[in-house]
Structure formats: C-alpha cells, structure tokens
Structure 1
C-alpha cells in the first residue's frame, strides 16, 4: 500500500469564475498528486456578508482588470470562460442560491456526480451565458452531466428542505471559520497543520506545502468535455 492521500477541501461557488479555474486545475492534479479532493459547494454571498468583503466587480478598476485577467487565465488554463452579456444582472441580481443548494443536494445523495454537475453549471453561466437560476436550466445541466431526469427532479424538489439549506449554511460557515473572505478557498489538511489558501493563483504554493511537483495548469484530459 502507498501513502495515505492528503485531504484537500475546495470551497467554491459556480458564480465565481476564479473558483472554476481552481476546480479544474485541482481536478486534473488529483490524479497526479497523492490527494483526496473534497468538493465543498459554498455560498459566496454568505462569505462576503460574514467577512464584510464585496465582489471585485463592484470596484470599477477591479472590474476592468477582472475582464482582462480572466481572458488571459482562460487561455492559460484552457478553461472556456466568457463574460455574461448582462454581467451585473447574472452575477449580482440573480445569484446562485438555488444552484448551490442543488449542488449541496447532489453531494448528499449522488456525490459521484458532483464534479460533473458543478462543471456543467459553470459551463452554463460562464461559458455559454445561460441561466442557472430557473429549474429547467438546472435540470438540463444535471442531465447533461449524466444524471437521470428522475434523479435530477427529485433533488430539485429537495433544495428548499431544511436538510439541504442547513448543509449549505454549515459548509459556508466552515469556510468562514477557516478565514475565507471570498472564493475559491482551498484547505489542505497536512498531519497536524491546516493551511487555508485563497484564490486560484496559490496552487504553486499548495504544491510546495504538499511536497509535490508543480507543472503549471496541466492540460485537461483528452476526453474532458470543456
């Protein structure tokens, strides 16, 4: 038997394009590094309220930089990020509450599909400028990720239950306890130490903490449908 995999938690919200970058890179590295990647659907709005932070797009200079930054990062990471046409409506008005509750339900009932359903929701909002708030859109994303329509409908009916609401709240609170002030947040559990890393640009530092080789944002697998 080889060494026991180190546990990494990735706290993310599909409303965050930087979360998508970290998600894709860590999903690629989980088969290269000796890690157990635990995906943690989180509500970014709750973290911003708790920390007193605000979205970068609310600050004019950051908003301009964000567009250029994501365009370059999209090319570098081979993740197809494209800004929604009505950015402020999609990101600041509609939000992601239902989508993140749905992902929470997926994790509770069908954790093996969490990675694929998360990716499909990111593809809708950040690549194809499609809705992620209305039930038909969420169902379509789940079905494309390989979930049966019956399974997806059952989970969608559970998003307003206390169990799902409380789980999303608890996960968001856990991220806050680690010191999160935005997303993504990666938490590495290494022997007796826990390290919280913010953003998608600390993965080289994560490799250092793990004692692993950083090879940059390795390309997606040949069969990955990005």
Structure 2
C-alpha cells in the first residue's frame, strides 16, 4: 500500500477514548441517532480508503455498553515498557481482533490470546503486571492529556 503520510512520525499512546468523550462532553457516534446511521458507512469508507479489513463487530453496541478497553490499554503499557515494537504488534492484534475478526478485546482471556498470537512467553506475568496501580496511573495521565487537548481544541474552534 502506498504511504499516504510520508514524513509523518506516529507515536502510539494508549488512552481511554470513553473517558475523553465523557470529560469533553462528546458523545460516542453509536449513541447519537444521526451519527449511528453513518457509523457503518464511515467504517466501510475508511476501510476502503486505507485498504484495510474493517468490519464493525455485530455485537459492537452490546460490547461497548458492557466492557471497556482499560485492561487492553494497560497491557499495551506494560508491553511498551518492555519493548515498543512488541506493544505495536499487540496493538495491531487487538485492532485486528475487534475490527476485522469481530473478537473481543476486553477480558483476561482475550489478552491471553493476543499475547500468545504475538509470541509473548510470559503471558500471565504481563497480564498480572498490567493490573498494577502504576499502569492505571499512566493510563489516567495519558487520558487526561487527551482530555486537555480535546477541551483546548474546542475552546479554539
């Protein structure tokens, strides 16, 4: 695929989109009737534009009302501390599970499957470490930075 963003450096930062939306006063597209109608169209259009397999999971609404991605984000933070490339591979695998294969990414068993898929040997250790207060605090700080940027952007628009 052609690189449409030549010269752009991307830094992946795990955060809670749910918290950013709540704190900034934004509502998720799936809970607003007009945006909900367009969500499927937008997802298909995005997948086609970027030439990536992108399919909304059939249980997406059920899942977003029941689960959060907090645990997955904290697993990514543990991996980032160990090896940034490993974190990127896990982030891609989480994404593929949810948006290409309609598989969950919210519970410990989901994390086990992702970590095994990317070749992590100490799977249980990574999952246990992700539950440490340290990683909850890093996630909260990353999320707060996103809230601050969102609110700042809204104030300047």
**TM-score class normalised by the smaller sequence:** 0.7 to 0.9
Please give the residue correspondences for 1:4-153 in structure 2 after superposition, counting only pairs within 5 Å.
32-33=6-7, 35-148=8-121, 150=122, 152-153=123-124
Of Structure 1 and Structure 2, which has the larger fraction of its residues in strand? 1
TM-score by length of 1: 0.62
Deviation at 1:180, TM superposition (A): 5.7
**DSSP-derived class of the 2:13 partner:** strand
Where in structure 2 are there 5+ consecutive unaligned residues? none
Please provide the CA RMSD for this pair: 2.1
Q: Are the equivalent residues in 2 in contact too, given 1:103–1:117 (CA < 8 A)? A: yes
Q: 1:65 to 1:127 in 2, by over 3 A?
A: same
Q: 1:118 to 1:85 in 2, by over 3 A?
A: same
Where in structure 1 are there 5+ consecutive unaligned residues? 1-24, 182-195, 197-226
Of Structure 1 and Structure 2, which has the larger fraction of its residues in helix? 2
CA–CA separation in structure 2 for the residues paired with 1:135 and 1:179: 30
Q: Which runs of 4+ in 1 moved over 4 A?
A: none
Q: 1:180 to 1:147 in 2, by over 3 A?
A: farther
Q: Choose 172-181 or 72-81, whichever is displaced more.
A: 172-181
Q: Are the equivalent residues in 2 in contact too, given 1:84–1:90 (CA < 8 A)? A: no
Q: Are the equivalent residues in 2 in contact too, given 1:57–1:66 (CA < 8 A)? A: yes
Q: 1:44 to 1:180 in 2, by over 3 A?
A: farther
Q: Are the equivalent residues in 2 in contact too, given 1:74–1:81 (CA < 8 A)? A: yes
Say whether residues 1:174 and 2:126 are aligned partners.
no
Match of 2:128 in 1: 157
Q: Are the equivalent residues in 2 in contact too, given 1:47–1:180 (CA < 8 A)? A: no
**DSSP-derived class of the 1:143 partner:** helix
TM-score by length of 2: 0.86
